[in-house]
Each structure stands twice: as structure tokens, then as C-alpha cells.
A and B are shown apart, each in its own frame.
Chain A
């Protein structure tokens, strides 16, 4: 009903405009007066209709009932859903989104326990990851499983704390935040690439994926944040002490975690196994673990002065 009334209203309006334009063309003001004196609703709706189907705030009833705008809305939404499908399909090829979801399946208890282990790994007894039919259990159910939540949050917090540290020393400017962020990101990427390269060269048969390595490399941000905060609150000696403690903790954590993944069964249990292969793997584990404190110091020493 509204539809037909509006339709007929439009046609009448159109005719009226044509007539008006042919008659009143030399006199613009009269044209304006005429049309504004007439029914303002459909006229405004007609004008807006010409402007585009996405007009809003119309006083009229003609927006959604017009077939043109219906068509346009339907077309636009189908285009949008097509676009989204294409993006999803192509994105899934490069970044495995379903696998990423596993790494973010954490809860508060897990995060609390994991942070505790990262800072004090000496009491933790069982470092093995539980499996469930070949798939590692989600981090929510197993403290030893790697996750990406803590590294991501740690990275962001590190940038914020770095900005805070620079601000307390009157060295802050907004570009420095970006510099810190990209610098830390580049070091992280280089470290992961270096570990991947060395794992390839030593031909270790392991089920460590790239994302696992990213997670392990991201755990050091926790220690860095603790060090910087201690340095800000209590001065340089506190910074050095807490950084030393966190470096030792990360070293032990990495060795105990990687030992199970990289070394063969016998060597992982602590027995001395001869052979160059195991020696090489041991060296690899030690160097990966030793790189963590170096990075921790490198990325934080310029923040505490």
C-alpha cells in the first residue's frame, strides 16, 4: 500500500518537476518555492533517491519500499559476503586460522600457573605435554602446552612498559613506541628464523611447529617486563637482580621444555648418550636457551638508565 502510493507519488512528482522545469526555467526562485510549498516528504525522498540508495533519516516511507533500493541493498550484501568468503579462503592458505585458535584456548588458571612456572621453574616436576590421540591437548587442560596468549600480551605490555620507562626519563615521543615495537618484532622474527634454520640443518625429527617456536620465543617478554618494572620502581640494582633471576629462570625453562622435544628419548631422561648426533642436539638446545637471556638483556638495557 505504501509502495503503490509512493510509486504513484513519485510519478506525479516527476511529472510535476518536468512541467515546472519547462515552464519556470528562467525563474529559479519560483521553481524552488513551488516545490518546497508542495508536499515536502516525497520530494525530499525523491531527491535523496537520486543521490543514492543509502540515504538515511528520511522523513518519508519510501526508502525501503522502493524496488531500486531493495535491489541495491541485496546486491551490496551479496557482494560483501562474496568478498568475505574470498578473503577467508585466501587468508586460510597463508595463516592457518584454525590452528591458531588452539593456541589461544587458555583460561585464567592456566595463565597464572604458566606465569609462575616462567618465573620459578625449579619446583615443576612433570614437563611432558599430554597428548590425546596424536593431538596435543589444548593449553586449558595442560600447563606444559605452549600458547600464544602470554607471548602476545607480553609483547604488547613490553611496548607499553618501554614507553613508560622512556617517559619517566623524559625521552619519550610517540614515534619511539613504533620504533621499539618494530625493533622487538624484528628480533623475534630473526630468532624464530634462526632456530628454524638450525633445526633444519641438524635434521631433528620433531613435532615442533613454527608457531610453537614463536610461542617459546615469546615467553621471554614476561621476564623482561618484570625486570623493567623492578628497575623503574627500585632503581638499577633491582633491575639487574630481577633480570638475572628471570634470565636464569627462562634458561632452565627452555632447557627443560626443549629437552623433551629435541633430544631422543634416552638422552632426554638424563642418561649420557654418546654420538655426534646427540651432542649436536644438546648444543642446539643449549644455544637456543642461552640466546634468550642475551635477547632479554639486549632489548631492555637501554630503557633503564
Chain B
């Protein structure tokens, strides 16, 4: 169906030049008669014509439209719930927390944000926190880290990279982990409670592992000191990042596999987002064993926030997102729409081309012969 020809040109096209030089006479000067040197390599010469492209257009249309529909349906089936808990409005529960913020305060400000889920969330539910107007992709920010330190390199631990400035040292001690990214680790604590219709308040179990890339957790991020479980000794000569309340070895004291540099919340944070409005995976709510009841049944919930992370100063927003996941990831209708559009356009073009081809086709065939 491709209008093409395999063009192996005959080698003796110019009989005049063959043999006239005498056998073997001054062979070195006569150009070699190889297909490459004579620009006669056999070649496939495809010619795109309406005839060849038409079926391709229809094919694309036929394939893309169903894919697009599939994608759109999948995306629409994903349940997503999003709630802004920044506390900008006077009425919002976290308003007071967002107002009285200071890094130094030791007091904990908590607020509770109630919300209602209309639909049940099946299967695993993923809990994200979202930030807006937070430039994790700012150049000064992106480069402000030391990957060798995070990889467990001892010398980098005590002598972090210059790139970490101005978060390199504090109190003449090297900061571990150094840099602006680590320093600004998201430190709100989010907890979910299901307000059962019978009045009881059930805490929903949030799994905090499996949220970071496997390779990051197991290869890229390493605690220094190898298998030494006592991280406080390993990090003894270092200082905690200035904005942190706890040193790095106390990020998750309960689980040694989730502590120090290999704390998954930390790893997730360290993968800088592409755009100033982003979401990061926070917790996973695993589906119930019995499969009969949904993971999150519809009803009243409350989000308990330990409000630590200030965003008002740069006009930022904080969100909590609950989402189920399909094979294509989170909810995003863009791909489905794109596929359907492209498929339809191709199909439409195919029809137009078919008409053109029919109308002018015969005349062109004659004219094409000299080529």
C-alpha cells in the first residue's frame, strides 16, 4: 500500500567507461565502481501520496478515538476530592493557625477541617498534599541540595556542597541534610477521621511507606554510617536544618527503615516539582481486606491538621487531596480529550483527502508519470 519502489540500479549503466582503460591499467586512479561511491546504493524510495496517507489517517482515527474514549472514561471514574485548608478566610477552621504562625513557637497549633464525601472511594486511596505558588522549580532552590550527602557519603555529610548555601552550615556545624529543599520540608501533619453516622469517630489508618520511588528509597538516598542503627551518633557532628523542629534522625523514630535520609516523606519532598502548583503523595489508605465495603465510604470526615507550614507569606495555598488511582495514574481528562480530538481530526482529514483524491486523482496520475 505504500507507493514505493526498491531501486537497485544496474551497475553497468555506462558501458562506455568499462574496459576502455585497458585491463588493470592505472587501476589506482580509476574510481572504484562500488555502489556507495557511485551513489547507487539500493534505496527504498517512499513517496507520500494521498493514496498512501489516506488509510493511515483512517487508521489513526479508528485507533485513537476508542483509546481516547477509554482514557476519558477511566479518568472520569477516578474519584478525587480536594480541600483547601490554608485558612485564608476568616470562616475557615485553620484561619487562626495561619495567622499566628512563627517558626520559633514550640506550641502546636491544630485545626480540624470537616468535609463530606458524596461517593464511596474504592480500592486504595491516595492522600496528597498540594501546594500552590510554591516555586520548587526555582533554580536557586532546585540546585540547593547535595546528592552525595543524601547518598550517605561521609565526607559530604561533614562538608556539604557549596550549592547548599545559605543552608550549608549553622552554628559552625554542617547541616544535614543541607540545602533549601531539605530546609523547607513540608511539616504539616494530616490525619483523617471518619465520623460514623452512629457518632463514633474512627481514625483512618494512613500508610506512610510506598510513597516514594523505590529506587530513590533504596539506592539514591542512603543513611551515612552503613548499618549503624544509632543515627543520632552518625549525625552527631551535624546540625539540623534551621527550620526543622527535629533533627533528621528523629523524622520517624518508630521505624528505623523510614528514618534519617530514607524517610519517605523527606524523599518525596526532595523530588522537586515541575510546576509551582503541585501535589505530593502523603499517605496511602489501603483498601479493606474484605473487599465488600469501600475504602472510604461516603459520609462525614474531618481532617485534623497540625498546622506548621507557613504559606501566607508568599500567597500560597495548601490543599489535601484524596484520590483513587487507575492504570493511567491520577485524574486527568487531558489525555482522553487529546486522543479523541486527534482521532477525530485525522478521521475528518481522511474524509477530506478522500474527496480530494477522488476529484483530482485521475488527472494527477497522468501527470505523475514523468517523475
Partners in one complex: no
